Amino acid sequence: MAVTPDNVRRILRDTELSDSEIQAAIGAGRRMFIQRTSGASGVTDAQQDDVVERLAAHLIASGAERQIDSASESGGNVSFAGETSEGLRSTSHGQAAIAFDPTDRLETEHIIINNGEH
């Protein structure tokens, strides 16, 4: 199975991005996964697609359509997820990508980056 814009839309639920914009995020997510997992050897296509769907959603939610972290009705305050120092942990989609990663390399990358070793 290849990841499609509809797969990512199902995860995001509400997006105004075009298919081509979502496809660009899918491509970036796939490249990110391959780069950070050293080519993802031994990972099935289905496992890779599970992670890539969430990476694409993370890239969209932390960029073009930032994910709301919290909101308050009284003062009209909204806090957005996507603090750069948190990396994949900054959105629920990035957290899911880490959880789905069968190589555990995305988690390792997060730890290394946040400990200043990268």
Angle at 45 between CA 39 and CA 49, to 5 degrees: 90
Determine contact, residues 43/56, Cβ cutoff 8 Å. Answer: no
- Higher per-residue pLDDT: 24 or 68: 24
* Domain map (residue ranges) of the chain: 5-11+18-114
Q: Which pLDDT tens digit goes with each residue over 36-61?
A: 887 777 899 999 999 999 999 999 98
DSSP-based three-state secondary structure for 15: coil
Smallest Cα–Cα separation from 47: which of 3, 107, 91, 12? 3
pTM of the model: 0.75
Q: Whats the size of the chain, residue-wise?
A: 118
Counting residues of the chain whose pLDDT is more than 90, the rounded percentage is 42
